[in-house]
Structure 1
Amino acid sequence: MIGIVGIIVIFVMVFGGYMAAGGKMGIILHSLPYEFTMIGGAAIGAFIISNNVSEIKHTLGAVGKVFKGPKWKATDYRDLLCLLFELIRLARQNPMGLEEHIEAPADSSIFGRYPKIRADREAVELICDTLRSASMNYDDPHQVEEVLEKRMEANLHHALHSSHALQTVADGLPALGIVAAVLGVIKTMGSIDQPPEILGKLIGGALVGTFLGVFLAYGLVGPFAAKVKTVIEEDAHFYQLIREVLVANLYNHSANICIEVGRQNTPSHNRPGFADLEEALKQTRDAA
């Protein structure tokens, strides 16, 4: 919702200010379809050249993050801590009983109590793979921690590709606007014998290309890229929380300490209060 508000503010301030200063929209509206076709079409073509089909789909899907915001909310972080608490406690009390949950999480009664987390493939695999590693009695927890770190870095790098792709388009739009403007000047030079009022409209139409390229780059596509990056990096904290809790488990800290480590590493705006989390864990223990 906040993304839509931002777009409205941009258009109202730019075009409202232009009209308030006495500018006329006629020339812009007349030239806009042609200039947008050249600039937008060239930008889309360059985007297609620069990315494969999978990356194109990934980037188009990521644009929705501008309006939806982060996937993981404060309640999801609380649910994640409760889920990890259940799994760690079960691993300590009944290691054999844990196996059925980490080998078939889709059928697990524990994972079933947290459907949003269970539906996220990366989160489930990260939890199950790490707990499976713990059951293999690693002599050095640093080994698992290093593997998790590299895995998460690779996932984040892949997820950020959509932001980089959008930023690349934003960087190229001003230059494409100049291309459109040059073509407009060429068109104007072909009509140099026309009266000044005709030449003025032709020159104004050419300048619309420069305006449109810069406006799209810094008013829309660039901010879209920045927002996508922010959302992706914020969602990455959810997976980092899994790492922090399960690495603490590898060091044989108590289940409560492991969860407190996770709570302390939760971003402040999503961090559950100590009392609230204790109440949630109490309900979890009672339901088990």
Structure 2
Amino acid sequence: MIGIIGIVCIFAMVFGGYLAAGGKMAIILKSLPFEMMMIGGAAVGAFLISNDMGGVKHTAKDMAKVFKGAKWKPDDYRDLLCLLFALIRIARQNPVEVEQHIEDPENSSLFSKYPKIQADKEAVDLICDTMRSASMNYDDPHQVEEVLEKRMDANLHHALHSSHALQTVADGLPALGIVAAVLGVIKTMGSIDQPPEVLGKLIGGALVGTFLGVFLAYGLVGPFASKVKAVVEEDAHFYQLIREVLVANLHNHAAAICIEVGRQNTPSHIRPKFADLEEALKAIKQDAA
């Protein structure tokens, strides 16, 4: 919603100010289709040249994040902590039982309580792979933390590809606008024998190219790239929470302490409240009893 409000604000303030100052939209609207074809078409072509098909699909999909925002909400972080708490308790009380959950999470009665987490392959794999390694005596906390850190860095680097691709397009748009403007000037020079009224409209049309390139770069594509990056980085906290809790578990802290370590390392605006989490954990303990 806030993304739509931002776009409306950009158009209203830019063109509203232009009209309020006495500007006329006719010359912009007349030149817009041709300038957009040159600038937008060249930008799309450059984007296709610099990315493979996977990158193109990834970027197209990620643009929806500008309007949807982060995937993981505060309630999801609470659910994740509850899931990890239950897994840690089972792993310590009955290692054989926990294998049923981490070896087949798709059919696990425990994972199925949290369908949104169960549907996220990376989160499930991160949990199951780490707990499986611990059951195989690969339980050095420092080594595991290093492995998880490298894995999450690689995933974050891949997830940020669409942001970098959009930012590259934004960086090139002003120059493409100049290209369109130069072509407009060339067209104007071909009509140099025309009266000033005609030349003025031709020059104005050429300048629309410069305006459009800068407007698209700093008013739309650049902010889209920044928003995608912000959303991806915020969602990364969800996977970092998994790392914090499972590494704390390898240090043999009490299950409740492991969960609190994860909660405390979650950013404040998405951190579950202590009382709410405590109530949810009590419900898990009662169900287990």
Q: Deviations over 1:13-72 (max 9, x none)?
A: 000000000000000000000000000000000000000000000001000000000000
Superposition map of 1:241-256 within 5 A? 241-256=241-256
Q: How many Å apart are 1:139 and its aligned residue?
A: 5.2
Give the aligned length.
Answer: 288
Q: How does the TM-score come out when normalised to structure 1?
A: 0.99
Residue 96 of structure 2 corresponds to which residue in structure 1? Answer: 96
Q: How many Å apart are 1:138 and its aligned residue?
A: 2.4
Residue 238 of structure 2 corresponds to which residue in structure 1? Answer: 238
Residue 36 of structure 2 corresponds to which residue in structure 1? Answer: 36
Aligned equivalents of 2:40, 2:95: Cα separation in 1: 58
Letter in 2 for 1:150: K
Residue 179 of structure 2 corresponds to which residue in structure 1? Answer: 179
Runs of 4+ that moved beyond 2 A: none
Aligned equivalents of 1:199, 1:139: Cα separation in 2: 77
**Does residue 222 of structure 2 align to residue 218 of structure 1?**
no
Unpaired stretches in structure 2, ≥5 consecutive residues: none
Aligned equivalents of 1:82, 1:266: Cα separation in 2: 15
Aligned equivalents of 1:127, 1:185: Cα separation in 2: 61
Superposition map of 1:83-232 within 5 A? 83-138=83-138, 140-232=140-232
Q: How many Å apart are 1:140 and its aligned residue?
A: 2.1
Residue 260 of structure 1 corresponds to which residue in structure 2? Answer: 260
Q: How many Å apart are 1:130 and its aligned residue?
A: 0.4
Residue 285 of structure 2 corresponds to which residue in structure 1? Answer: 285
Helix, strand or coil for the counterpart of 1:269?
A: helix
Aligned equivalents of 2:168, 2:107: Cα separation in 1: 43
Q: How many Å apart are 1:267 and its aligned residue?
A: 1.2
Residue 45 of structure 2 corresponds to which residue in structure 1? Answer: 45
Aligned equivalents of 2:280, 2:147: Cα separation in 1: 31
Letter in 2 for 1:41: G
Helix, strand or coil for the counterpart of 1:138?
A: coil
Q: How many Å apart are 1:137 and its aligned residue?
A: 1.4
Residue 54 of structure 1 corresponds to which residue in structure 2? Answer: 54
Aligned equivalents of 1:139, 1:29: Cα separation in 2: 66
- Contact conserved, 2:127 with 2:242, CA < 8 A, in 1? yes
- Per mean C-alpha deviation after superposition, the further-off stretch among 163-172 and 128-137 is 128-137
Q: Deviations over 1:80-117 (max 9, x none)?
A: 00000000000000001000100000000000000000
Q: How does the TM-score come out when normalised to structure 2?
A: 0.99
Give the direction of change, closer, same or farther, for the CA distance of 1:281–1:139 in structure 2 (3 Å limit): closer
Give the direction of change, closer, same or farther, for the CA distance of 1:47–1:183 in structure 2 (3 Å limit): same
Cα RMSD, aligned residues only: 0.6
Residue 80 of structure 2 corresponds to which residue in structure 1? Answer: 80
Aligned equivalents of 1:252, 1:133: Cα separation in 2: 15
Q: How many Å apart are 1:286 and its aligned residue?
A: 2.0
Unpaired stretches in structure 1, ≥5 consecutive residues: none
User: Sequence identity of aligned pairs in percent?
Assistant: 81
